[in-house]
Amino acid sequence: MNENTPRQAALKADVRLTAYFANEDERRAVTRDMFDQAAPGYDRAEGLTALGSGARYRSEVLRRNGLHAGMTLLDVAAGTGLVTVAGQELVGPTGRVIALDPSPGMLAELRKKVAVETIEAYAESIPLPDDHVDFVSMGYALRHVGDLDLAFSEYLRVLRPGGRVCIMEISRPASRLARALLRFHIRTIVPLLARLTRSQTEVKRLWAYYGDTIEAAIEPEHILDALRRAGFADVKCSVTLGIFREYTGCKA
């Protein structure tokens, strides 16, 4: 693994994340355990805290970036299937959807709501052949990837020529006021709403980790550079409400 990637540098530099783990092996073990334990209460907590975005927004992002009927979609870090469900609706009965996630607990919840192929694996090592899918999606999980260069290289490898990648992510807003509001949301509102869900301790722990990963997020320029290094063309980033970003690119 390349120890000099932007994500590795972020892990080493930010005390918020080193409080959870000291290296990549620990990161995988700790985060997998958190997601497995929190899986049963994840959707309820996500809906109440609105840390991500709504179903309509997810569907619109995928549609706008070229996902349509008959395509083969790979949804990476699919979790409980919030993006997967939107993708299946767009590709329709003539399409194919593959959901990939390292957490068996999250995939078990996904299979309760949508009938798609599932793979237990990491973004950095996708067990699919070259040139296998038309579209790769990732919804609000880039902050949990250990090596962006490896992950993006895998995305490019499994895509067919002309295929597209679409990564939805939350990032720190540019203005000080917006950053302060986001910090208040993460540190005050999210814990309060998590308590109101009456969810287990594991969900609250995961939401605290989410907040720390947002504050320690890699700068958008580094993500765009990593996509270009992997070989993607037409790399772009669009922003909604100063927080929700869409990173896109295509395989020539």
In Å, what is the CA distance from 81 to each residue of 14, 58, 230, 231? 29, 11, 26, 28
In terms of residue numbers, what domain contains 73?
1-252
pLDDT band (50, 70, 90) for residue 210: confident
CATH number at residue 101: 3.40.50.150
- DSSP, collapsed to helix, strand or coil, labels residue 136 as strand
- 222-237 b/e with 16+ CB inside 10 Å = b? bbbebbeebebeebeb
pLDDT surpassing 60 at residue 4: no
pLDDT surpassing 70 at residue 195: no
Which amino acid is present at 151?
Answer: A
State the average pLDDT over residues 137-159: 95
State the average pLDDT over residues 134-147: 93
* Contacts with 95 (C-beta within 8 Å, 6 or more apart), sequence order: 69, 70, 71, 72, 73, 88
Domains in the chain, number: 1
